[in-house]
Amino acid sequence: MDTDDLRRRLSRDLDPEMREQPGLSALNQGIVGLIVFSILMAVAETETALVEGHTWVFDSLSLVLFVAFGAEYAARLWIAPLNPRFGSSLRYARTPAAILDLLVLISFLLPLLGLEAALLRMIRIVRLVRLARLGRYSLALQMIGAAVTDRRYELGVSVIIASGLMLLSSTALYLAEGAHQPENFGSIPRAMWWSVATLTTVGYGDIVPVTVTGRIFAAVTALTGIGIIAIPTGILAGAFSDALRRARGRGD
Amino acid sequence: MDTDDLRRRLSRDLDPEMREQPGLSALNQGIVGLIVFSILMAVAETETALVEGHTWVFDSLSLVLFVAFGAEYAARLWIAPLNPRFGSSLRYARTPAAILDLLVLISFLLPLLGLEAALLRMIRIVRLVRLARLGRYSLALQMIGAAVTDRRYELGVSVIIASGLMLLSSTALYLAEGAHQPENFGSIPRAMWWSVATLTTVGYGDIVPVTVTGRIFAAVTALTGIGIIAIPTGILAGAFSDALRRARGRGD
Amino acid sequence: MDTDDLRRRLSRDLDPEMREQPGLSALNQGIVGLIVFSILMAVAETETALVEGHTWVFDSLSLVLFVAFGAEYAARLWIAPLNPRFGSSLRYARTPAAILDLLVLISFLLPLLGLEAALLRMIRIVRLVRLARLGRYSLALQMIGAAVTDRRYELGVSVIIASGLMLLSSTALYLAEGAHQPENFGSIPRAMWWSVATLTTVGYGDIVPVTVTGRIFAAVTALTGIGIIAIPTGILAGAFSDALRRARGRGD
Amino acid sequence: MDTDDLRRRLSRDLDPEMREQPGLSALNQGIVGLIVFSILMAVAETETALVEGHTWVFDSLSLVLFVAFGAEYAARLWIAPLNPRFGSSLRYARTPAAILDLLVLISFLLPLLGLEAALLRMIRIVRLVRLARLGRYSLALQMIGAAVTDRRYELGVSVIIASGLMLLSSTALYLAEGAHQPENFGSIPRAMWWSVATLTTVGYGDIVPVTVTGRIFAAVTALTGIGIIAIPTGILAGAFSDALRRARGRGD
């Protein structure tokens, strides 16, 4: 097998647009696995209890991943001219996907240079999204995306309604509880922390109203929170139901 | 350009009903931005840590906003006769929208007079809603409003069911926990605070049952809370789904 | 106006089945108002801070309500023969509705005899449900009832699935946390309190896992809780959507 | 009645596939009742406060259940040859259902041998699922299963989105709160416990952000949590709505 054959085969295996069959090639599946593993490693590395005494394990694995992703990056540059959408390696290197891959490579080098970069390492998550778009999950993501986009104004209005309610309930609690709990409700921005936790029904309970007036306002806020959840859920439910019906043909 | 021309142009820019194109004019977009900014400022002003040492910033910005909104109010009065719905400035001044705008103007003056008026300043939120009704979000708001109105009796019944369940669970917890936690469950109104937090699945955890009987009643309440959320969500989902189908034509 | 005329008029006003127009008569609307008031009073009476020093107010109001509901009960007995469904006052007196009304009357007498009966007083809530079924809300209640009944097996299965998941997560947390928190997770029934709070996403936080294994199981439980809420919500949403379409005619 | 007649009758009563009528036979209903009872007993046995002084009750009931389930197991082996799907007792004994039944029998013997096996006893739950599939609930379970399967890719994508958001919010809180609360947010895995509790809207409140930055990130996470719940709920609502319409015929 000569170099050109290898390049064409690699192109079909690495670039989903060059692949005849639908779905993800075995090579890309392996890369997805490596990406997931690299994310888990980046997560684990922040926990000193896990790293302590095993730094050599993490360092070795980082090196292996760096080499693997480096090889992948080089291979993608090499096969780029075969895809008519890029034409040349340089044009591919300037795509957001390629820049992201380069940043991920750099993120492996930073800790070796003694630099801490938790956020940069989290770019690996974004890479996952890029690959998750391929294969069979692509249609599902497109459907979810289309349903959300289709109702963007309805969702936007429900965000505006929710923001307004959050401001009103923060103001109410600031007036009712501000004097009793200045630390927690002494200003509207402070009361907002409680308001978000209540309207989303998270309800941490670290900050709660203690006066009767405050609790009545809080009860109204909590009940309103059901609507805050019900409205976007209802909008999306209608959108998904509709998206599917359209996908199955207008005759249904 | 003479005065009449300016007035007509201003009318087209300020009054969405006089505008030929759909959507919000650049001038109204700027006003929406100012309103959002004035709300954020009203919120920030309640936090002494932010205001301290920067009172002159807040005072100057208040003055700027007062002048801007005053100019807007005056301009709307001036152009009102051009809109056949109002005819005269006086009739416009008596509309709820104009009265709201006047109240907002007054809310800017109150702090200068040394009066604290958090609630009055929050009227600015209502203004946002009024403007959010314009432009592209108008249709989305109408759809949400129509879906909610369409099912008002179903939503009303689910409120009655929820109220009944709240009373029943408060009574149950009052009977089960009243003797152990008189402060929290010593009467039905006291138990209601816990009941609202549980049925809405907020669950602050500031007040929880400690007896076995109380916990069994609480578990039933928590499970019932799923229905309390599921029923209005289901009603709204059906309503949104239906509203969209109608909007796309009955042939679908 | 002679006695027979009064009786017939009263029958049309009190008995919705004898009324020609749809909706609730003015008299029945007044009775609904009295019932709501009597419920609120029963709730308020349990709070000693409200009753103290105002016992005469509560006693007088109780007497007024007792007389009013007594008169209503007597009137309903009197007009019963006019409704062909009952035929005689005795047959009406044996219906569940009439027995409930009698129990409510007794509940007013008990405190006068020095007996405490919070639960019995709560029967008044059930009365509300009976009257809420009348008038315009009747159709809404029927629609909700039909949608829930229509999917009773799906909802039943989702209850079975939820119960199974609750048992599994309780067992998992009992095994993971039992040794560390014997008070909270020392047995499966104890762990269930935590499990219900988590699966319903109430999340009081009075009892939380502290070990790594326990937290991993708890995270899985919390994520499963989304399904526990999503499945009945989805079932009901589909049912409501379908019920409305049927109500509007199959041609849609 | 000779042995063959008894065997055939038992086969019709025990094996739903050999029964002419739909629904669960009286004998199988009794077995379902015994299974539910055995699960409740297994749960109760872990609570020492209940067992203490009543060990003989639990031991006797265990013996009764062991004998009953042993008899059922033997009977199912005996009647297996009558069902053409098995042909012989040995082939039936090798089915997962029969192996599960055998494991449950063993789980009754373990405590008698002085071995603690909470997890093994919980296999009884799985048995319930197997029997719940029979009778009228079978169709409901199939519908739920079909709706979930039908949208597995959409649900899979929403799991991927949720995981990504969980990682992002954990990283954000680790960066914002790590220095202030090293015990709770000192690493990404530690921050995940908080992140799961917030995104699922459980909100225990045992760990909460205290810095302003942390609270802003947490508010965004809590609001995102609404989408995390709304998207799968919407997908399932659409799926259930569609599944029912298909079941009622494509003409609707």
pLDDT digits (tens, 9 = 90+) for B232-244: 888 888 888 777 7
User: What local confidence, expressed as pLDDT, does residue A148 receive?
Assistant: 87
> Does pLDDT of D133 surpass 70?
no
A198 touching B (Cβ < 8 Å): yes
Residue C204 lies in a domain: yes
User: A120-134, B24-38, D94-108: which range is least confident on average?
Assistant: A120-134
Mutate to test the interface with D, among B211, B233, B240 (most CBs of D within 10 A): B233
Structure-derived torsion over alpha carbons of residues C188, C202, C166, C157, reported in degrees to the nearest 10: 150
On whether both C153 and C76 belong to a single domain, the answer is: no
Residues 16-45 of B with CB under 8 A from A: 39, 42-44
Q: Which of the pair, D109 or C252, is modelled with greater confidence?
A: D109
Rounded average pLDDT over A78-107? 88
Q: Name the residue in chain D with its Cα closest to that of A242.
A: D238
Residue A241 lies in a domain: yes
On whether both C17 and C129 belong to a single domain, the answer is: yes
pLDDT by residue (tens digit) across C204-225?
A: 999 999 999 999 999 999 998 8
CA of B237, closest CA in chain D: separation in Å?
8
User: What local confidence, expressed as pLDDT, does residue A114 receive?
Assistant: 64
Quote the domain boundaries for residue C15.
3-135
Looking at residue A78, the DSSP 8-state letter turns out to be H
CATH number at residue C237: 1.10.287.70
pLDDT band at A224 (very low <50, low <70, confident <90, very high): confident
pLDDT band at B15 (very low <50, low <70, confident <90, very high): confident
Query: What is the largest distance, in Å, between two alpha-carbon atoms of chain C?
Result: 82
Looking at residue C203, the DSSP 8-state letter turns out to be -
User: What local confidence, expressed as pLDDT, does residue D252 receive?
Assistant: 39
* 8 Å CB contact of B219 and C137: no
CA of A47, closest CA in chain B: separation in Å?
30
Q: In angstroms, what CA-CA distances link A109 with A106, C73, D187?
A: 5, 85, 20
Facing residue for D43 by CB, picked from C188, C231, C250:
C188
Last residue of a domain, one of A90, A111, A135: A135
pLDDT by residue (tens digit) across D9-53?
A: 888 888 877 777 766 788 888 888 888 888 888 888 888 888 888
pLDDT band at C131 (very low <50, low <70, confident <90, very high): low
On whether both D179 and D59 belong to a single domain, the answer is: no
Residue pair A174/A151 in contact (Cβ under 8 Å)? The answer is no
User: A23-27, A56-60, A146-150, C21-25: which range is least confident on average?
Assistant: C21-25
Last residue of a domain, one of B135, B169, B198: B135
User: What local confidence, expressed as pLDDT, does residue D119 receive?
Assistant: 62
Total domains in chain A come to 2
Q: Which of the pair, C146 or C247, is modelled with greater confidence?
A: C146
On whether both D118 and D154 belong to a single domain, the answer is: no
On whether both C130 and C21 belong to a single domain, the answer is: yes
Residues 222-241 of C with CB under 8 A from A: 233-234, 237, 241
B47 touching A (Cβ < 8 Å): yes
Neighbouring subunits of A (3+ Cβ pairs under 8 A): B, C, D
Facing residue for C144 by CB, picked from B157, B186, B218:
B157
On whether both B21 and B115 belong to a single domain, the answer is: yes
Residue B143 lies in a domain: no
Last residue of a domain, one of C80, C102, C135: C135
**Residues of chain B above pLDDT 90, percent:** 27
CA of A2, closest CA in chain D: separation in Å?
40
User: What local confidence, expressed as pLDDT, does residue A119 receive?
Assistant: 63
On whether both C130 and C155 belong to a single domain, the answer is: no
Task: Indicate if ipTM > 0.90.
Answer: no
C200 touching A (Cβ < 8 Å): no
Q: pTM of this prediction?
A: 0.88
Query: What is the largest distance, in Å, between two alpha-carbon atoms of chain D?
Result: 82
* Cα–Cα dist D50/D43, whole Å: 11
Residue D215 lies in a domain: yes
> Does pLDDT of B113 surpass 50?
yes
Token output for A120: 């940069």
Residue D144 lies in a domain: no
Residue B74 lies in a domain: yes
- Nearest C-alpha neighbor of C164 from the set C95, C221, C96: C221
pLDDT band at A201 (very low <50, low <70, confident <90, very high): very high
User: B203-217, C106-120, D66-80, D137-151: which range is least confident on average?
Assistant: C106-120
pLDDT band at A35 (very low <50, low <70, confident <90, very high): confident
Rounded average pLDDT over A126-143? 67
> Does pLDDT of D195 surpass 50?
yes
Facing residue for B205 by CB, picked from D205, D237, D241:
D205
D141 touching C (Cβ < 8 Å): yes
CA of A15, closest CA in chain C: separation in Å?
34
Q: Which of the pair, C133 or D233, is modelled with greater confidence?
A: D233
On whether both C47 and C169 belong to a single domain, the answer is: no
Residue pair D147/D240 in contact (Cβ under 8 Å)? The answer is yes
Residue D223 lies in a domain: yes
Q: In angstroms, what CA-CA distances link A127 with A15, A102, A116, A122, A134?
A: 15, 11, 20, 9, 12
On whether both D161 and D126 belong to a single domain, the answer is: no
User: What local confidence, expressed as pLDDT, does residue A251 receive?
Assistant: 40
* 8 Å CB contact of D204 and B204: no
On whether both B237 and B205 belong to a single domain, the answer is: yes
**Residues of chain A above pLDDT 70, percent:** 87
pLDDT band at B128 (very low <50, low <70, confident <90, very high): low
> Does pLDDT of D139 surpass 80?
no
Mutate to test the interface with A, among B120, B204, B224, B252 (most CBs of A within 10 A): B204
Token output for C18: 């004898």
Buried b (16+ CB within 10 A) or exposed e, B58-96: beebbeebbeebeebbebbbbbbbbbeebeebeebbeee
Neighbouring subunits of B (3+ Cβ pairs under 8 A): A, C, D
Q: Name the residue in chain C with its Cα closest to that of B151.
A: C140
User: What local confidence, expressed as pLDDT, does residue A222 receive?
Assistant: 93
pLDDT by residue (tens digit) across C38-74?
A: 888 888 888 888 888 888 888 889 889 999 999 999 9
On whether both C204 and C93 belong to a single domain, the answer is: no
* 8 Å CB contact of B205 and D204: yes
C155 touching B (Cβ < 8 Å): no
Facing residue for C235 by CB, picked from D139, D240, D242:
D240
pLDDT band at B252 (very low <50, low <70, confident <90, very high): very low
D148 touching A (Cβ < 8 Å): no
* Cα–Cα dist C198/C155, whole Å: 20
* Cα–Cα dist D196/A203, whole Å: 14
pLDDT band at D218 (very low <50, low <70, confident <90, very high): very high
Residue D56 lies in a domain: yes
Mutate to test the interface with B, among C142, C148, C240, C242 (most CBs of B within 10 A): C240
On whether both A160 and A229 belong to a single domain, the answer is: yes
Q: In angstroms, what CA-CA distances link D94 with B34, B141, D78, D81?
A: 75, 61, 14, 13
